[in-house]
């Protein structure tokens, strides 16, 4: 048995558990942790890091969605409607990525992380949105729904605003995802939050549900291009699946504000490291 390989696999597996856990809590793909960890800690080529991270996005999504759908937190109908935008955007982005320099990717990814961090820090302390109108399209597609919130100890019914605006933002999120190999969950959560005015947990769980499809649209292309190295992607997939399964069970009991406060500094540090790596000679 190759001891060095075993050590690498175990280290990547361990980090991926954490990535899947945090990703499933916040509606982000684990990529936000996996890509920087693989490039910064293990010195991996960003090409393979992105290939592995796109696998982590799919694993986070599918792993967490099982529990979120069972608990009724995921709004499957909203997710599927918005997937029209994310999948079209992902194709656009994946083709752009073959034309763009990896160093530029590093910087872009860093700026993207920083931006997500600021968006998350700006989140207000309101637990649930109030006085939301139901958009005519939302009414026609029956998007409004309700879920049981164990942290509040009651059922939460909600309307869905800004259906077209949300769909447009999802196209942008898809382009970013295809370009950088991440699910750009932060953008999806933000769009559902700001445009459609959904409760935070619904945005997070529904983003989680969608990022798998967005990533799958790009992952096929990455796989055929030879960017998905089995030795790296295997421990990532297994670790993330485990972490996401646990994370989805924990999330419903938590208030999202606490999570954001913990996560924002982590994002900021990683973002700055990525930007430095891309800019340094």
Partner 1 sequence: MSEEKVVRAERAIGRILQVGVLASAAVILVGLVLLLATGSSGYPAGAFPSDPAQVLAGLAAGRPYAVISAGLLLLILTPVLRVGISVIVFVREKDRPFVGITVLVFLILVASFLLGKVE
Return residues touching partner 1 (CB under 8 A).
1-2, 5-6, 9, 55, 58-59, 61-63, 65-66, 69-70, 72, 74, 76-77, 80-81, 83-84, 87-88, 90-91, 94-95, 98, 140-142, 145, 212-213, 215-226, 228-231, 233-235, 237-238, 241
Q: Which is nearer to partner 1, 39 or 86 (CB)?
A: 86
Q: Which is nearer to partner 1, 184 or 218 (CB)?
A: 218
CB of 253 to partner 1, least distance (A): 20
Q: Which is nearer to partner 1, 5 or 279 (CB)?
A: 5
CB of 210 to partner 1, least distance (A): 9
Q: Which is nearer to partner 1, 110 or 235 (CB)?
A: 235
CB of 276 to partner 1, least distance (A): 28
CB of 173 to partner 1, least distance (A): 15
Q: Which is nearer to partner 1, 81 or 109 (CB)?
A: 81
CB of 257 to partner 1, least distance (A): 27
Query: What is the 3-class SS of the chain, one letter each residue?
Result: CCHHHHHHHHHHHHHHHHHHHHHHHHCCCCHHHHHHHHHHHHCCCHHHHHHHHHHHHHHHHHHHHHHHHHCCCCCHHHHHHHHHHHHHHHHHHHHHHCCCCHHHHHHHHHHHHHHHHHHHHCCCCCCCCCCCCCCHHHHHCCCCEEEEECCCCEEEEECCCCHHHHHHHHHHHHHHHHHHCCCCHHHHHHHHHHCCCCCHHHHHHHHHHHHHHHHHHHHHHHHHHCCCCHHHHHHHHHHHHHHHHHHHHHHCCCCHHHHHHHHHHHHHHHHHHHHHHHHCC
């Amino acid at each position: 048995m190759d001891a060095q390989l075993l050590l690498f696999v175990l280290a990547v597996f361990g980090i991926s558990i954490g990535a899947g856990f945090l990703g499933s809590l916040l509606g982000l793909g684990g990529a936000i942790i996996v890509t920087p960890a693989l490039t910064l800690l293990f010195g991996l080529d960003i090409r393979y890091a992105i290939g592995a991270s796109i696998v982590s996005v799919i694993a986070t999504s599918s792993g967490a969605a099982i529990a979120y759908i069972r608990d009724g937190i995921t709004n499957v109908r909203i997710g599927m409607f918005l997937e029209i935008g994310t999948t079209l955007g992902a194709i656009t982005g994946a083709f752009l990525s073959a034309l763009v320099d990896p160093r530029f990717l590093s910087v872009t990814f860093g700026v993207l992380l920083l931006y997500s961090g600021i968006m998350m820090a700006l989140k207000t302390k309101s637990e649930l949105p109030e006085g939301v109108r139901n958009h005519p399209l939302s009414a026609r597609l029956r998007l409004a729904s309700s879920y049981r919130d164990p942290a509040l100890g009651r059922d939460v019914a909600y309307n869905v605003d800004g259906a077209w605006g949300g769909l447009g933002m999802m196209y942008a999120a898809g382009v970013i995802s295809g370009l950088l190999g991440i699910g750009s969950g932060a953008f999806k959560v933000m769009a559902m939050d700001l445009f459609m005015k959904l409760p935070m947990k619904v945005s997070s769980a529904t983003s989680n549900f969608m990022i798998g499809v967005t990533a799958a649209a790009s992952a096929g292309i990455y796989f055929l291009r030879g960017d998905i190295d089995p030795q790296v992607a295997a421990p990532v997939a297994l670790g993330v699946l485990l972490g996401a399964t646990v994370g989805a069970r924990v999330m419903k009991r938590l208030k999202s504000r606490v999570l954001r406060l913990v996560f924002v500094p982590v994002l900021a540090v990683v973002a700055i490291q990525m930007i430095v790596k891309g800019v340094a000679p």
